Chain A
Amino acid sequence: MEVQKTLFKLVVRERRQIAVAACLVATAVLMLVVYSKTVLGIKASVSSAFRMGGPEDIAVTSQGEIDADVIGQISALDGVAHVAPMGLERRWIQSGWVECRHVDTSDPGIGLDELVVEGRLPREPFEVAAGGDFLGVCGLSLGESSEAWESMGAGSSTTYRVVGVLKNTMRTPWGFIGFLQDQPLRSLLVFCSERTEETIRAVTGKIFAFQGVTVTPNYAREAATREFVPLVNRAVQVLLIALLASTVFAVTNSLYLRLSSRRGEGLVLLMIGASKEQMVTRYILEAAAITVLAIGVFVLEAVALRSVVRDRLVWSLGEIALQGVALISGAVVISSCLAWGPADKEL
């Protein structure tokens, strides 16, 4: 017991390193959640949608004006991801997920006013209208700024279209709506702009049933954001890449020092009589400490991101950073866990 206490002191001594590791682990976990909710979901929906056979598989929405508040709610639910579906140039795709209920599958012309939508985030469930049974609502925006998409949330809006209504959604253990890959999807309501619609047409050569839905056009704002936001995005991305490169360098450097230090320390401990089992115990203690801290940090991060980062531009930039951090944290944790190996091998 005494030796374990002493070994645990060594663990506690590295509390700063443990705290950093815990933050990285928590961030990585959070990133996985974000990733699964956005990128994976979008990939599934986009690829599935493009695989659809034709209008007969799709319940097409009726034309109608989408209530700005509804769009606002949907928009507020958006995550941001970047994927390259169907060989398209890597572009920004933004998607919102909400749960819908009560679709009347016998009626292919379900209108938005027949939907009941339950938003899972960020507010209490809200009701759009009665009669729908949609299981998913997806917004697509290829190559367009998040500002343009967000303009819908502001109520000023632009022209967006209900692309199609897809079916066969499912809820995953992560709590987001996924899609059955091997079946045509029919109960996903897809919103996109004319520009996106044109892109999809150009790439796929076909488009599932379209019905235009106009939401109080604001072309001026759309045009402005199209020109301005990509520039900002590009600038910020460059800065982020520079930041990430610096971070990678710093972390790699500290990782090297950490491994060197731990390898040396491990060797000394072994030379003064520590056994393999005692060394393993030490690393188990450290892993436990990291895990406990990581859970706490994860909760804090998740709460903070949910309540603070509502802006999708920030969210998307944060996602880039988080993905980089996730990669780094994986390397840190795995390397730390294996650090005792070289020292032991030397003996």
Chain B
Amino acid sequence: MSEILEMSAVHKSYGEGTPVLNGATFSIHPGDRTFLVGPSGSGKSTILNIAAGLVKADSGSVKLCGVDLSGASYSTLLELRRERIGYVFQKFNLVSGLTVEENVILPSLLAGKPKHEALTRCRELLEAVELAAKANSSVATLSRGEQQRVAICRALINSPSIIFADEPTGNLDERNASLFMGLLCRIVDASGCGALIATHNLALLEYGNRVLTLKAGTVREEAC
């Protein structure tokens, strides 16, 4: 099975300090629900940012959907962000002035897709997360759990190849965290995309089928 994401011997330091990543190597395949665990400051977000093409590695190879990110142009990275990557943030980062529906379709519109297509896909996603009735509500009126469900819909609107989630349950209570992870798993399984989920909450690992541990800048796969 071909890899969606392939990181090989990636090094990354900030300034003159201790390296955050020291030869990190791993890959993500379609259908992987991969958890990346490690203590705060261990470099989980750095890995996500490098994998998403937001930060460049000092050395090593990063390939996303077959594209070598180290030599990718701005337009190539833009296309990857639009078409191949879905990103879920810890703080949801929904655009507060827009409705649920407008938030979800925004990546599609930014990618230049017809609005009617985006709306059709949006309604499917909102129904899947049981938020269809709130499509026209302002996101500011939603609970945290609902906001994160909107965020996952936004991440999926362009049918990405991989979803990056950085502490997606960090702002949710236990119940909503469980609901969100169950939902994410179902969506990943249904769509066949891969997911790389950074977390320090070990209770969530039951939702994954792979676990990567980040320690001293290196990545080690744990038995699941």
The answer, yes or no, to whether A264 is at the interface (CB within 8 Å) is: yes
Cα of A274 to Cα of B110 in the assembled complex, Å: 6
The answer, yes or no, to whether A314 is at the interface (CB within 8 Å) is: no
Q: How far is the CB of A321 from chain B (nearest CB, A)?
A: 32
Interface residues of A in 224-281 (CB under 8 A from B): 264-265, 268-276, 278
B97 near A272 with CB under 8 A, answer no
Q: How far is the CB of B79 from chain A (nearest CB, A)?
A: 9
Residues of B within 8 A of A264 (CB): 93
A272 near B107 with CB under 8 A, answer yes
The listed residue (A14, A270, A272, A347) touching B106 by CB distance below 8 A is A272
A10 near B87 with CB under 8 A, answer no
Q: Is the contact region of chain A dominated by helix, strand, or loop, or is it mixed?
A: helix
Q: Which residue of A lies closest to B116 (CB)?
A: A2
B98 near A6 with CB under 8 A, answer yes
* Also in contact, A278 and B54, with CB within 8 A (given A268-B95, A272-B81): no
Interface residues of B in 69-93 (CB under 8 A from A): 74, 77-78, 81-82, 87, 89, 93
Q: Which residue of A lies closest to B99 (CB)?
A: A9
Residues of A within 8 A of B98 (CB): 6, 9-10, 13
Q: Which residue of B lies closest to A274 (CB)?
A: B110
Residues of B within 8 A of A202 (CB): none
Cα of A269 to Cα of B154 in the assembled complex, Å: 12
Cα of A6 to Cα of B110 in the assembled complex, Å: 9
The listed residue (B93, B97, B110) touching A273 by CB distance below 8 A is B110
Residues of A within 8 A of B54 (CB): 271, 346-347
The answer, yes or no, to whether A3 is at the interface (CB within 8 Å) is: yes
Residues of A within 8 A of B74 (CB): 276
B97 near A3 with CB under 8 A, answer no
Binary contact track B189-222/A, C-beta < 8 Å → 1, others 0: 0000000000000000000000000000000000
Q: How far is the CB of B165 from chain A (nearest CB, A)?
A: 13
Q: Which residue of B lies closest to A268 (CB)?
A: B93
Cα of A347 to Cα of B56 in the assembled complex, Å: 9
Q: Which residue of A lies closest to B115 (CB)?
A: A2
The answer, yes or no, to whether B111 is at the interface (CB within 8 Å) is: yes
Residues of A within 8 A of B52 (CB): 271
The listed residue (A3, A276, A346) touching B109 by CB distance below 8 A is A3
Residues of B within 8 A of A275 (CB): 78, 110
Residues of A within 8 A of B82 (CB): 273
- Cross-chain pair count, CB within 8 angstroms: 56
Binary contact track A190-221/B, C-beta < 8 Å → 1, others 0: 00000000000000000000000000000000
A265 near B95 with CB under 8 A, answer yes
Interface residues of B in 162-204 (CB under 8 A from A): none
Residues of A within 8 A of B107 (CB): 272-273
Interface residues of A in 178-198 (CB under 8 A from B): none
B158 near A273 with CB under 8 A, answer yes
Cα of A221 to Cα of B52 in the assembled complex, Å: 77
Residues of A within 8 A of B78 (CB): 273, 275
A6 near B87 with CB under 8 A, answer no
* Also in contact, A6 and B93, with CB within 8 A (given A272-B81, A273-B78): no
Cα of A276 to Cα of B77 in the assembled complex, Å: 12
Q: How far is the CB of A2 from chain B (nearest CB, A)?
A: 5
The answer, yes or no, to whether B141 is at the interface (CB within 8 Å) is: no
Interface residues of B in 86-132 (CB under 8 A from A): 87, 89, 93, 95-98, 102, 106-107, 109-112, 115
Cα of A208 to Cα of B46 in the assembled complex, Å: 76
A10, A268, A276 interface centre (most CB from chain B within 10 Å): A268
Residues of A within 8 A of B96 (CB): 13
Cα of A8 to Cα of B135 in the assembled complex, Å: 20
Cα of A278 to Cα of B97 in the assembled complex, Å: 17
Cα of A155 to Cα of B189 in the assembled complex, Å: 90
Q: Which residue of B lies closest to A276 (CB)?
A: B74
Q: How far is the CB of A177 from chain B (nearest CB, A)?
A: 49
* Also in contact, A268 and B111, with CB within 8 A (given A13-B96, A273-B78, A275-B78): no
Which A residues fall within an 8 A CB radius of B?
2-3, 6, 9-10, 12-14, 264-265, 268-276, 278, 346-347
Which B residues fall within an 8 A CB radius of A?
52, 54, 74, 77-78, 81-82, 87, 89, 93, 95-98, 102, 106-107, 109-112, 115, 154, 158
